Amino acid sequence: MVDKINSFTLTNGLKVLLKEIHSSPIISHWVWYRVGSRNEVEGKTGISHWAEHMQFKGTPKFPQGVLDRAISRDGGMWNAFTHLDWTTFFETVPAEKINLPLELESDRMNNSIYDPLEVESERTVIISEREGNENEPLFRLEEAIQLAAFKFHPYRNEVLGSIADLQSIQRDDLFNHYKTYYNPQNAVVAVAGDFETEKMLELIKDRYTDIPGNPVPKTTIRIDQILHQEEQIEVHGPGETTYLELTWRAPAANSDDFFALTVLDSYLTGPTSLNMFGGGGISNKTSRLYKSLVEKELAVSVVGSLQATIDPFLYNITITVRPDRRWQDVLSTVDAEIDKILQSPISQSDIDRAVKQARALFTYGSENITNQAFWLGYSEMFDDYEWFLNYVDHLKSSTPSRLLEAAQRLLPSNTRVRGVFLPERGEA
């Protein structure tokens, strides 16, 4: 994980990160754009995600279907993701086939068509994607929580967008979004795998240097105040299962508090894995909240979620309530446990354990070159790749007193949103 990473910036502003790994004859190539739901305005929510879909609809040189066919033909793996702060596209291919992804990604950075007919057929595909998500109680609960947690910040909106916006966004909106944000000055190319750095840099220059770089308009974002009184929301829907979700404002990824909360979360709900492509996870049966909720038969599961973001986003604890219990009893138990870490420090051995777990997870994840390339670019989107290199050391530098102080600032109950999904049994 601490192997050498080389960083370059091309004349058009494109940042390039390269990491040689010679364990398998494979290369993983990623292009990251600094655009996501964070850059969206009301009326156009979901546009970043939709634009990501349109990037598979073809350029004059590579018409629709050619991209995925060409990569799949070589036995490669490819996909794209849109999140709060970023949109990313990747291809992992046999090393000798690396020219293909370089050609495809550099081409669609600038030459995608956005055919109006394709925009229309994709509209229903995306609405269908959203409808699939709406089937899930936790999607509906989380969407409601985000709206309650932020009044102004675009993080309040679902990455998929609202149905109303998905029905009204037009081809030119999408095309303008593309032309504004997909450009070398707003992008990072990250490549890991079986190559020589100098040669790879030349290949990248050949493909990307001629794309003009333009400054990206600054996104004006109104940061919300921290809540001063707990927001309480309820979502109702079919089912038999009650979920309780507690959500606090999380620190930005580049702050020391982020690492403090990572350790606290590990203590409360178990370690979180940054492995997106294999490498597994570690169970959380000895975490504080599992012991007090699942072992004590109040809940059937508890998970925590903290995401690395540019601006403060949210830290969630999500609990699946046992069918024979009341969510109010679960809540008071969670409150009692959180009170403990607000009153007295957790031990040094709890910190050591979180560090050991994080190290093990990185070791498992580093077996996959796609993971390694993902980590490179990912950390650039909210900080820089040093963030990733120093991740374990940052966790390690936590002290019990520092964590106590951070917990007191970050986790008071009056600053949170309390969301409950209540099932409506037997509704038909």
Distance CA 103, CA 362 (A): 31
Distance CA 88, CA 380 (A): 12
Instruction: Report, in Å, the least distance between residue 394 CB and another protein.
Output: 17
The angle subtended at Cα 85 by Cα 27 and Cα 249, nearest 5°, is 130
Instruction: Report, in Å, the least distance between residue 184 CB and another protein.
Output: 27
Closest CB to another protein among 212 and 238? 238
SS3 of 271, please? coil
Instruction: Report, in Å, the least distance between residue 149 CB and another protein.
Output: 23
Find residue 7's DSSP bridge partners: 17
Closest CB to another protein among 212 and 278? 278
Closest CB to another protein among 9 and 363? 363
Length of the chain: 428
Instruction: Report, in Å, the least distance between residue 261 CB and another protein.
Output: 20
Instruction: Report, in Å, the least distance between residue 70 CB and another protein.
Output: 9
Closest CB to another protein among 15 and 123? 123
Distance CA 88, CA 100 (A): 17
Closest CB to another protein among 170 and 363? 363
3-state helix, strand, coil in the chain (%, to 5): 45, 20, 35
Distance CA 215, CA 88 (A): 19
Element (H, E) at 339: helix 327-343
Instruction: Report, in Å, the least distance between residue 413 CB and another protein.
Output: 26
Closest CB to another protein among 120 and 230? 120
Distance CA 175, CA 111 (A): 11
Phi, psi of 37 (to 5 degrees): -65, -20
